[in-house]
Amino acid sequence: MWERLGHKPAIALAGWPTVDETLLVADSVIAVIQINGKIKERLEVSPTISDAELEAQALAHPTIAKELAGATINKIITRAPKLVNIVI
């Protein structure tokens, strides 16, 4: 059957495919934005984003800005590229 499909070497003699390492790297990851430990939003970001950049994107997001309107931020915990937790 293998030969009928157009493959020349016998399947028992065929080698393993080679791995392309560039395809194993993620182009983007999902970062979770929490307020007081509750998930409010998710952002698609680069896996190489810094803590400061992720924090800025989270605070600039319209949903988060609306939730934080008039609130005092006590602490921001950022673990790039996966998490931003805003404690109010």
Q: Residue 85 in contact with residue 59, Cβ under 8 Å?
A: no
Query: pTM, whole model, 2 decimals?
Result: 0.71
pLDDT reported for residue 78: 95
The mean per-residue pLDDT over the stretch 58-84 comes to 94
pLDDT reported for residue 16: 86
Q: Which domains does the chain have, with CATH numbers?
A: 26-87 (3.10.20.590)
pLDDT reported for residue 79: 94
Rounded CA gap, 68 and 7, in Å?
Answer: 62
| Tokens describing residue 19 | 């791995």
Band of residue 74 on the pLDDT scale cut at 50, 70, 90? very high
